[in-house]
Amino acid sequence: MPALVVVGAQWGDEGKGKIVHFLGKDADWVVRYQGGNNAGHTVVFGGQKFALHLTPSGILAKGCKSVIGNGVVVDPNAFVKEVKMLESRGIKVRGRLFISLAAHVILPYHIYVDTLREEGGRGIGTTKRGIGPCYEDKVARIGIRIADFLDPEVFRKLVRRNLKVRAAELAKVKPLKTIEKEVFKDYDRQRRFLAPFAADCSLFLDAANKKKKRLLLESAQGSMLDLDHGTYPFVTSSNPVAGGACAGAGIGPTAITAVMGVTKAYTTRVGLGPFPTEVEGHVGHYIREVGKEYGTTTGRARRIGWLDVPQLKAAIRMNGMTALTMTKLDTLTGVHPIKVCVGYKLGKKRLADFPVSRREQLDVEPVYESYPGFSGDLSKAKKFSDLPRGAREYVLAVEKLLGVPVSIVSVGQSREQTIVRDATRLWS
């Protein structure tokens, strides 16, 4: 205790990595609880930039330990690559990073199936990292966990069985024997590399909790990409929402003391699916270029939209958010006016809430309020009062519309460009 969940309030890429790293200075443990290397979390500090896909951003915060929880799907290749990258840049990883024995393993055939579907006309714009097919195996109870991966006899047996289960789909890619060879090609090396990191992490976290240590739980993706609560079927295959933190880390809900939602000052989305406040044309282009809105994982151009209050209210509700961080306020400088969606029109009806039905999610038309916007360089602001009046008014208006305190405002990539408005609301 305390335990703080940091969760994306939109469609991912809200700046969770930056905020987890910022708050990580006060944490003893940082835990990633779902997703896999579909995530791309950027952390900038001391003039260095890191793009993390699998490792919790806490690994870059001094003095805290990190866990890849049981709810995460782990590609051993991606894991080896990321640990080597961190070590080559002087970050101490061994003895500070642990992977749950119960996390599931992504193997080459998951990536083939994901890619095949994306390229075969049935795609939703996934990252093609094998995430969906790996979670499918988990739910079908044929998944391979880290504990199985570390046991060569069990692993070989399970891989051979699973290749047979997926034979019809994989036959469209290459012969099964070739795929099997690919799975085993680097297996021994990967197993030996991974073994020292594997642990029953739920035990550590329970012990830490009993010692009143601070836990920070880091989501990947965002609330609108949540398998249950997002814009289904254009979602990821796990539960980023705060409730997912308990199942994906192996702690109970009574341990959670606060939930911090991270939202941009506008909205972005990568991949296909409904996006009611999407703006194309000059304004969308301007925000994409100024905000460098290109994916950390796939390099795809992110779709741009205005802030969407019904969408954020849904995220606040489904996560039980106690506070918000607003990132990228600096990106909106020079945008006049700034629009905020405060409700929707659906035919003749007015909607105050984000709809559940896929047809309505596509058909709603946003109703906007306009704010005059602001000019000037925000990136050097240290206190809220340093911001231009128009920027302060925008934050206060959003806070009022949402009914949740915007406790942190971020005005640049680096950790120094972070304004804490209310430190008392962060951890409890």
The token duo for 276 is 């009611």
250 contacts Mg ion (rule: CB under 5 A)? no
The token duo for 166 is 């997926």
Alpha-carbon distance of 324 to 359, in angstroms, equals: 29
Size of the site for ligand IMO (CB under 6 A): 23
Find which of ligand GDP, ligand IMO, Mg ion, none residue 236 binds, CB within 5 to 8 Å per kind: ligand IMO
Residue 70 contacts residue 45 (beta carbons within 8 Å): no
Residue 402 contacts residue 324 (beta carbons within 8 Å): yes
229 contacts ligand GDP (rule: CB under 6 A)? no
CA distances from 215 to 66, 70, 152, 320 (A): 10, 16, 34, 18
40 contacts Mg ion (rule: CB under 5 A)? yes
126 contacts ligand IMO (rule: CB under 6 A)? yes
Alpha-carbon distance of 43 to 371, in angstroms, equals: 30
Which residues are designated catalytic? 13, 41
Task: Closer to Mg ion by CB, 43 or 395: give it.
Answer: 43
14 contacts Mg ion (rule: CB under 5 A)? no
18 contacts ligand GDP (rule: CB under 6 A)? yes
**Sites for ligand GDP among residues 172-191 (CB under 6 A):** none
331 contacts ligand GDP (rule: CB under 6 A)? yes
Find which of Mg ion, ligand GDP, ligand IMO, none residue 410 binds, CB within 5 to 8 Å per kind: ligand GDP
The least distance separating ligand GDP from the CB of residue 75, rounded to whole angstroms, comes to 17
- Which residues, listed in sequence order, are joined to residue 327 by a DSSP beta bridge? 264
**Sites for ligand IMO among residues 230-269 (CB under 6 A):** 236-237
Contact region for ligand GDP (CB under 6 A) — 81-89, 96-104, 196-204, 407-415?
A: 407-415
41 contacts ligand GDP (rule: CB under 6 A)? yes
For CA atoms 252, 264, 58, 125, give the dihedral sign.
positive
For CA atoms 259, 265, 269, 275, give the dihedral sign.
positive
Distance of CA 16 to the CA centre of its chain: 7
Residue 10 contacts residue 224 (beta carbons within 8 Å): yes
Find which of Mg ion, ligand GDP, ligand IMO, none residue 270 binds, CB within 5 to 8 Å per kind: ligand IMO
The token duo for 363 is 């058909």
Alpha-carbon distance of 275 to 310, in angstroms, equals: 12
Find which of ligand GDP, Mg ion, ligand IMO, none residue 411 binds, CB within 5 to 8 Å per kind: ligand GDP
Binding pattern for the stretch 276-305 against ligand GDP, x by CB under 6 A and - elsewhere: --------------------x---------
CA distances from 63 to 83, 89, 91, 181 (A): 17, 17, 12, 41
Q: Which residues bind ligand GDP (CB under 6 A)?
A: 8, 12-18, 39-42, 44, 296, 327-328, 330-331, 410-413
